[in-house]
């Protein structure tokens, strides 16, 4: 299950790997900062899209 999850989310997180010198080697435990940055980034993009949608769909 976890392998499928990593396979699905890898393209979303990959643009942020260079920020923290990501390596593909297995480490037992590691906090994945690039995942945290990706969550914040895509959360802000989603908020921006919703805000723009609400702004342009207001009835006058």
The pTM assigned to this predicted structure is 0.68
Mean pLDDT per 10-residue interval, the chain, length 60 residues: 85 82 68 85 96 84
| pLDDT score recorded for residue 42 | 95
Show me where the domains of the chain are located: 2-56
| pLDDT score recorded for residue 18 | 79
| pLDDT score recorded for residue 43 | 96
Residues comprising the chain, all counted: 60
| Cα 2 to the center of its chain, rounded Å | 17
Sign of CA dihedral 22, 39, 8, 16: negative
| pLDDT score recorded for residue 32 | 78
């Amino acid at each position: 299950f976890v392998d499928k999850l990593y396979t699905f989310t890898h393209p979303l997180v990959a643009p942020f790997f260079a920020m923290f010198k990501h390596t593909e080697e297995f480490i037992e435990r590691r906090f994945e900062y690039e995942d945290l940055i990706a969550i914040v980034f895509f959360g802000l993009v989603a908020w921006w899209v919703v805000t723009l949608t609400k702004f342009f769909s207001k009835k006058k």
